[in-house]
Amino acid sequence: MGQKVNPVGFRVGFIRKSDSSWFASKSSYPEKLMEDEKIRAYLEARMAKASVARILIERAGKKITVTIRTARPGIVIGKSGAEVDKVKEELKKLTKQEVELNIVEIKRPDLEAKLVALQIAQQIRGRMPYKRAVKQCVAAVIRSGAQGVKIKVSGRLDGAEMARSDEFKEGSVPLHTLRNDIDYTAVEAHTIYGRIGIKVWISRGDVAANQSQRSAGKPNRVGERSIASSREKKRSSN
């Protein structure tokens, strides 16, 4: 029997940091953990249309820093930053602490597993055939530069009487390679036939290889110029 491990938690401490970065004593740890869950639940419900991929929480003393990674920063910020100020005040009332809010824009949303899964869920709720929705997202993920993608859809697919599961895969998704940056999420699409489960795995490539390229001065993308290589050329010419 296979033992399933969450690919994100499996890589925490190796190539990935935890979404909650803070230290607490044994007595105060449960309270702060539940507070983090309340913050995330509140922000995800309030910014349901803002394409929020991750919510990072850091604590330092009596100050909480919340970082929101979103593909639509304009919706989160609002006109002249009015929406951010409202969210800050509401979080202060919720936590009774000083809150700092940071908004980070996601430039390639097709490489975020949660955003891809939410897009598929929205299309399934809109009566689009699940095969077409999944195949479109798989193609978009590969075009964005992913090494591989795997999507699994389960439930009463297309209104069938019996629940089943269907899996789509393209490229390489090495789940047991810890240095490979894999983003994973699981969401549900609520339809008139019942709940459809959607799981998405996206492989962004080898983190160790990318770091070694930077240390060696090799270009990561086409058109990038290596600083180290230009220095070597100057030395050889002299």
pLDDT for 80 equals 78
- Please provide the DSSP assignment of 62-106 as one string: TEEEEEEEES-HHHHH-GGGHHHHHHHHHHHHHHSSEEEEEEEE-
Question: Which DSSP state fits 226?
Answer: -
Work out the pLDDT band at 68, boundaries 50, 70, 90.
very high
Give every CB contact of residue 153 below 8 A, 6+ residues apart in sequence. 120, 130, 134, 165, 166, 167, 168, 196, 197, 198, 199
- Cβ-contact 171, 147 below 8 angstroms: yes
For residue 133, the Cα-to-chain-centroid distance in whole angstroms is 20
Q: How do 98-105 and 148-155 pair as beta strands?
A: unpaired
Cα-based distances in Å from 40 to 1, 33, 56: 34, 11, 9
Residue 213's pLDDT is what?
46
Q: What is the mean pLDDT of residues 17-37?
A: 91
Beta bridge partners of 21: 58
pLDDT of 226: 37
The string of pLDDT tens digits covering residues 81-124 is 788 888 999 999 998 889 999 999 999 999 999 999 999 999 99
pLDDT at position 230 over 50: no
pLDDT at residue 196 is higher than 60: yes
Report the pLDDT value the prediction gives residue 219, as an integer from 0 to 100: 41
Give the model's confidence band at 228: pLDDT under 50 very low, under 70 low, under 90 confident, else very high. Answer: very low
**Is the model's pLDDT at 212 over the cut of 80?**
no
**CB neighbours of residue 60 within 10 Å:** 11
Task: With a cut of 80, say whether residue 221 has pLDDT above it.
Answer: no
Q: What's the confidence (pLDDT) of residue 208? A: 66
Residue-level pLDDT at 62: 85
pLDDT of residue 211: 56
What is the percentage of the chain residues whose pLDDT exceeds 70? 86
- Distances, alpha carbon 211 to alpha carbons 72, 216, 219, in Å: 29, 9, 11
Tens digit of pLDDT for each residue in 170-190?
Answer: 999 999 999 999 999 999 999
Residue 72 vs residue 219, higher pLDDT: 72
pLDDT in tens, 135-149: 999 999 999 999 999
Model pLDDT for residues 3-16, shown as the tens digit of each residue: 788 999 999 988 99
CA distance 184 to 202: 7
